[in-house]
Structure 1
Amino acid sequence: MTRAPGLLRSVTFWSGILMMVFICWAWRDSNLRPLEFRVKKWHFSQAFSGVTVQRYWYYQPKIMWGTVARHFTRHPLPAPFYASASGKSKGDDREYHRRGELEGKSVSEWVPIHFEYLPRGARLLFIPHWLILLGVAGVWGGLLYERHRRMRRAFAIQEVPAGDG
């Protein structure tokens, strides 16, 4: 009777562990050093315990995360959100900074104010790292369960006794 290979020999197991460790590291790092890059009208960033994907209809100068970050309250488990600009307001959001109205607000409270000043068509999707981690853990758990079922079925077939024939 042969035994099924252990979980420690599973590529699925170790891939899931490495992926979740990477996401936890990115979560911690996003609060220490925000990262961002742009591709034409798309802007991708990792900051404030989450990942942001933005679409602008015009070129916007690079946001100074260090300057903006001092206004925000950092939440360890921020909520996901989506924002879309209406293009109704004129001017910019620097007036809010001058009046101190952004002090102590979370990112999800500040972004709608900022988006009032962007042209129609600007969009932002914020996905917190905890939600990404939860999704990866769910998929990983499903893959491990499927591996378990497959191994159990394969070794059950091997243990069937031969007929009297």
Structure 2
Amino acid sequence: MTHSATYTQKSRRARGQGPARRAARTLAFVLPVMLVLSGTLAVTRVNWSGSSSDSVLTASSQDVSARAKPRAPQDVLRDRLLAELQEQNPGVALTHLQEEVDRRPSLAKHCRSIAKALGRAAVRVYGPVRAQSYARPVCDTSFASGVAGFHA
């Protein structure tokens, strides 16, 4: 019996199933797990905000579950109309501004600031002369004053 046990141990070592093989298998399993965990922990400790504060981000931060505040309707409308101005022309954006103010009277108090922002954006995109050609009496000619104010 001792002969067969000795023979079996020698044959296992010859085929690479000795203690070194077991250690290599353990290392092959443990090493990737450790690398992933250490990488995850390192990423949570990097200051991604770009500010110079020494705050450290952690995975258990309470700000993670905080929802973003909803944007005001006038801000959403302004952004949508500025995108329309870029894609189509200021006339289309002004028409949609007037339609939105007529549909939702609560936006009337923001109409002038939105029209002025459209006027400034139109000058950037089309130049002052062409931008002025799109002016119309939307929100007390605020578009025209935005064009003139940006150009001056």
Q: Same fold (TM over 0.5)?
A: no
More strand by share: 1
TM-score normalized by the length of structure 1: 0.24
Q: Which has the larger radius of gyration?
A: 2
Q: Which has the higher helix share?
A: 2
